[in-house]
C-alpha cells in the first residue's frame, strides 16, 4: 500500500502539505527511504468557501489559504480516513474527510471539560489505540494535556498549577505500547535534577486502575 505523508508548517503563512512518494516495485514494502526517492509529488492544502478543500500543486495558493483560514498549524494526526490538525493562532481543531473532500472546524476553547480548562493555544495532537484524541497546550497559567472522545466529550488529563510552569508548553506526548503509560514534557520548566531555569522535564503518568489511557473508564483517577 502506497504511503502518504502530511507535514505542517508553524508559520502564519505556512503551507500544510501532502507528499506522495513514487510508486514502489509491486510486492515490495515502502520504507522511510521512500521520502528520499525521486519523482514524488508535493501538494498543498487549499480551503474553499463551502467547507470543502482541494490539494493543489500551487504552493502560493497553499500559503494564502493557511494564512486566511488556519495560520500557525502544528499538531497533525491521521486516523481512519480523517486528517486532524490544529491552528495555534485560531485555537481550532480542523477535521478533513479525505474521501469526501470536506472539512469541519471547532474551537478548542469551547470544550466543556470533565475538569480543568483548555483556554490557550493547542499544540501537538496524538492518539493511542482507542477513540481518544489528545492535545498538548502552549502557554497560559495551567498548561496541560487534554482529550476528546468519539462523542465529543472532553477531558483534562493533567494540568500544572505551580508558578514555574506559567506560560510553559506541554510537548513530546506519547504512549507505551500497551497504552498504560503516558509520557509528556514541560518544555521550559525549572528542573529538580539540574536546577536550570529552562531545562525542561519529562513526566510519566499511569491510571490507578491499571487500564489503558483509552480504556472504558477514562477520567477516573490518574497518577
Q: What are phi and psi of 164, to 5 degrees?
A: -70, -15
Residue 192 has pLDDT above 70, yes or no: no
Confirm if 135 and 108 have CB atoms less than 8 A apart: yes
**Considering only 16-20, 22-26, 38-42, 44-48, which range has the smallest mean pLDDT?**
22-26
The mean pLDDT of 24-45, rounded to a whole number, is 75
**Considering only 39-43, 136-140, 142-146, 170-174, which range has the smallest mean pLDDT?**
136-140
* pLDDT value at residue 152: 74
Residue 1 has pLDDT above 60, yes or no: yes
pTM of the model: 0.77
Buried b (16+ CB within 10 A) or exposed e, 79-93: eeeebbbbbbbbbbb
Residue 190 corresponds to which cell in the numbers above?
A: 525549572
Dmax over CA atoms of the chain, in Å, equals 57
Give the H or E element holding residue 28: none
pLDDT band at residue 143 using 50, 70 and 90 as cut-offs: confident
Distances (CA, A) of 36 to 5, 39, 105, 115: 12, 9, 33, 45
The answer for residues whose C-beta is within 8 angstroms of residue 61's C-beta and 6 or more apart is 44, 46
pLDDT band at residue 221 using 50, 70 and 90 as cut-offs: very low
**Coil/strand/helix, residue 131:** coil
pLDDT band at residue 151 using 50, 70 and 90 as cut-offs: confident
Amino acid at each position: 500500500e502506497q504511503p502518504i505523508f502530511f507535514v505542517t508548517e508553524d508559520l502564519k503563512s505556512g503551507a500544510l502539505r501532502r507528499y506522495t512518494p513514487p510508486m514502489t516495485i509491486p510486492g515490495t514494502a515502502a520504507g522511510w527511504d521512500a521520502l528520499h526517492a525521486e519523482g514524488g509529488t508535493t501538494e498543498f492544502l487549499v480551503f474553499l468557501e463551502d467547507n470543502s478543500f482541494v490539494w493543489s500543486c500551487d504552493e502560493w495558493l497553499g500559503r494564502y489559504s493557511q494564512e486566511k483560514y488556519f495560520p500557525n498549524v502544528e499538531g497533525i494526526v491521521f486516523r481512519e480516513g480523517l486528517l486532524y490538525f490544529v491552528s495555534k493562532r485560531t485555537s481550532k481543531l480542523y477535521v478533513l474527510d479525505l474521501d469526501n473532500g470536506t472539512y469541519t472546524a471547532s474551537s478548542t476553547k469551547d470544550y466543556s471539560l470533565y475538569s480543568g480548562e483548555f483556554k490557550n493555544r493547542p499544540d501537538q495532537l496524538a492518539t493511542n489505540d482507542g477513540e481518544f484524541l489528545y492535545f498538548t497546550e502552549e502557554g497560559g497559567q495551567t498548561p496541560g494535556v487534554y482529550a476528546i472522545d468519539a462523542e465529543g466529550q472532553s477531558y483534562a488529563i493533567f494540568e500544572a498549577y505551580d508558578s514555574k510552569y506559567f506560560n510553559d508548553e506541554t510537548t513530546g506526548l506519547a504512549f507505551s505500547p500497551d497504552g498504560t503509560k503516558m509520557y509528556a514534557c514541560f518544555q521550559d520548566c525549572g528542573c529538580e535534577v539540574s536546577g536550570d531555569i529552562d531545562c525542561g522535564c519529562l513526566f510519566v503518568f499511569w491510571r490507578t486502575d491499571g487500564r489503558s489511557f483509552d480504556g472504558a473508564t477514562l477520567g477516573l483517577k490518574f497518577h
